[in-house]
Amino acid sequence: MIENKRENAEELPFHAQCKPPKHLKIVEEETKQATLPPKPKEGATEPSEIVMKVKEERKPAQPASDEEEKKPAVPTRPNKTLFKRTQRAGLQENSVLKTRTGQLKEYYNLGRKLGHGQFGTTFLCVEKATGKEYACKSISKEKLLTSDEVG
Ligand SMILES: Nc1ncnc2c1ncn2[C@@H]1O[C@H](COP(=O)(O)OP(=O)(O)OP(=O)(O)O)[C@@H](O)[C@H]1O
């Protein structure tokens, strides 16, 4: 069939005959890469159809490898950590005193509960030495940001 076409092609105008042989070479290379079973060369008369079949067979095989490659690139976890940060008190670890100050109750008398917020509870407390009143807010350590999270 091909040879017949080529013979006929020589009789036709020159510009109409150059392209078909080039397409046939490209299609044969792609079918080999896809390890398709050898097909009769009768399909060679319609190279565009063969190309479509090769692409369709590669699609189901590629999503698995694509997902593996995309997994580390997809920034889903950073978004989750950002979401967690908004749930925290916003206090940084290094804003907490490093030195021991003694027991709170050693210096203050804890009074009634004034109220509570999202991150902790606030109590009235009175300084023993001066009798001055303060609001003392108790925050869970889990609500504090670590230095890693601040970066
Ligand atoms: N100095 C204060 N005097 C009197 N009441 C106070 C004082 N500070 C806090 N309170 C009471 O305690 C409640 C909780 O205070 P807090 O500072 O924890 O509120 P918040 O900022 O909404 O908390 P969060 O930041 O954890 O959501 C307040 O709504 C208020 O009623």
Q: Are 100 and 140 found together in one domain?
A: yes
Place of tokens 């997809």: 74
Q: Are 99 and 66 found together in one domain?
A: no
Q: Which residues of 51-73 are buried (b: 16+ CB within 10 A; e: fewer)?
A: eeeeeeeeeeeeeeeeeeeeeee
Rounded CA separation 99/51 (Å): 73
Which domain covers residue 136, as residue numbers?
95-150
**Domain annotation covers residue 78:** no
Closest CA to 121 of 143, 99, 101: 143
**Domain annotation covers residue 90:** no
Distance 121 CA to ligand 1 centre (A): 8
pLDDT confidence of residue 83: 47
Pocket test for ligand 1, best of 91, 122, 145 (most atoms within 8 A of CB): 122
**Domain annotation covers residue 85:** no
Distance 89 CA to ligand 1 centre (A): 13
Closest CA to 95 of 37, 150, 18: 150
What atom in ligand 1 is closest to the CA of residue 122?
12
**Domain annotation covers residue 105:** yes
* Residues near ligand 1 (Cβ within 6 A): 114-120, 122, 135, 137
Q: Are 102 and 58 found together in one domain?
A: no
Q: Which residues in the chain belong to E strands, given as ranges?
A: 108-116, 120-127, 133-139
Average pLDDT, integer, range 51-80: 50
Q: How confident is the model at residue 129 (pLDDT cuts 50, 70, 90)?
A: very high
Q: Are 68 and 102 found together in one domain?
A: no
Sort residue 121 into left (φ over 0), alpha (ψ -120 to 50) or beta: beta
Cβ neighbours of 50 (radius 10 Å): 21
Distance 134 CA to ligand 1 centre (A): 12
**Domain annotation covers residue 46:** yes
Q: Do the interacting molecules here have an ipTM over 0.85?
A: yes
CATH classification at residue 99: 3.30.200.20
**Contacts with 57 (C-beta within 8 Å, 6 or more apart), sequence order:** 34, 36
Contact predicate 146/84, CB 8 Å: no
Number of domains the chain is built from: 2
**Domain annotation covers residue 13:** yes
* Average pLDDT of the chain to the nearest whole number: 65
Average pLDDT, integer, range 48-59: 45
Q: pLDDT tens, 98-114?
A: 777 788 889 999 999 99
Q: Are 66 and 10 found together in one domain?
A: yes
